[in-house]
Amino acid sequence: MKFDILAYIGRFTLKRVQVLGQSGVFLLVAFYQAFLPPFRIRRLLKEIEFIGSKSFLIVFVTGLFTGLVLGLQGYHTLTQFGAEALLGSAVALSIIRELGPVLCALMVTGRAGSAIASQIGIMKITDQFPALEMMAIDPVKYVISPKILAGIISLPLLTAVFDVVGIMGGYLVGVKLLGVNEGAYFGKMVTSVTFTDIYGGILKSLSFGLLIAWISSFMGFTADPTTEGVSAATTNAVVITSLSILIVDYILTSLLL
């Protein structure tokens, strides 16, 4: 009985390590293929449109309301110490360092990550990958590589949108609604936000973009070729990507600070 449990743990661990290795090789191959000719600019633009521009609205709204609520919460906390002049830097720092990259990535995971996984899974069920193979087209290069590049390109841009909209949201509530001094709001922001904060945010969003495209594609690509398989892959893509984003965020923050 005792050994059954040991054997189970062993099998479980081996399986996980194997999947981890597979996904690593998968990423390397997709990345390597992306830089081999022929370059498919049109495919890349299409993926950027799908992952990036189509997430614009959802990121905009999330950013706006995050900023609004930060302004509100920040103001009520800071007035207790008579420090409402610091509202600008509080809002800007929390958004640029943490909330921008993380919330933006989580929203894109929900919208684009799930779609990537199910799209690739359905392509797999319907034999579209062997069909590409038979036309002498590498399926990883054609389908996966553009998605990975598009993820890396789109996320920093979306995060920048999120940051700006969030800061403006804080401005609307803090300055226009609650009467914080406009000069203080932006003045404190300029003095307290350093370039390290901005680079850190960009670095985070780059990594999250990679994570979203990589994990979602891998889940779809390795899905069981059944309807259950694809739905499980879609769920797993969202859950695993979201958790990885939070974990990687902690690791990156601890390295950056």
Partner 1 sequence: MIRVENLVKKYGRLVVSNGLNCRFEEGKITVILGGSGSGKSTLLRQLTGLERSDSGCVYFDGVDLTCASKKKLYEKRKKMGMLFQGSALFNYLNIFENIAFPLREHTRIAENVIKTIVTMKLEMVGLRGTENLMPSQLSGGMTKRVGLARAIVMDPKVIFYDEPTSGLDPISTGVIDKLIKDLNTKLNITSVVVSHDIESCFRIADKIIILFSGDIIAQGTVEEIKNSKDLRVKQFINGEPEGPIPFTRTDKNYLDELLTG
Residues that bind partner 1 (CB under 8 A): 122, 126-128, 130-131, 133-138
Q: How far apart are CA 236 and CA 59, in angstroms?
A: 22
CB of 112 to partner 1, least distance (A): 15
Name the residue nearer to partner 1 (CB basis): 94 or 128: 128
Work out how close the CB of 137 gets to partner 1 at its nearest, in angstroms, rounded to a whole number: 6
CA–CA–CA angle 47, 158, 63 (5° rounding): 140
The smaller minimum CB distance to partner 1, of residues 130 and 183, is found at 130
Residue 104 and residue 222: Cα distance in Å, rounded?
Answer: 26
Of the pair 143, 233, the CB lying nearest partner 1 is at 143
The CB-of-122 to partner 1 minimum distance in angstroms stands at 7
- Output 120 or 237, the one with its CB closest to partner 1: 120
- CA dist 103 and 41 (Å) reads 29
> Are 94 and 70 spatial neighbours (Cβ–Cβ below 8 Å)?
yes
Q: Measured from the CB atom, is 74 or 139 closer to partner 1?
A: 139
Separation of alpha carbons 226 and 5, rounded Å: 30
The continuous run of DSSP H or E covering 123 comes out as helix 114-125
198 with 100: CB under 8 angstroms?
no
CA distances from 224 to 140, 232, 238 (A): 17, 9, 17
CB of 237 to partner 1, least distance (A): 19
- For partner 1, which is the closer residue by CB, 41 or 255? 41
Q: Burial letters for 169-182: b for 16+ Cβ neighbours within 10 Å, e otherwise?
A: bbbebbbeebebee
Report the sign of the C-alpha dihedral through residues 243, 208, 108, 73, in that order. Answer: positive
Least spacing, CB of residue 81 vs partner 1, in Å: 56
What is the nearest approach in angstroms of partner 1 to the Cβ of residue 99?
34
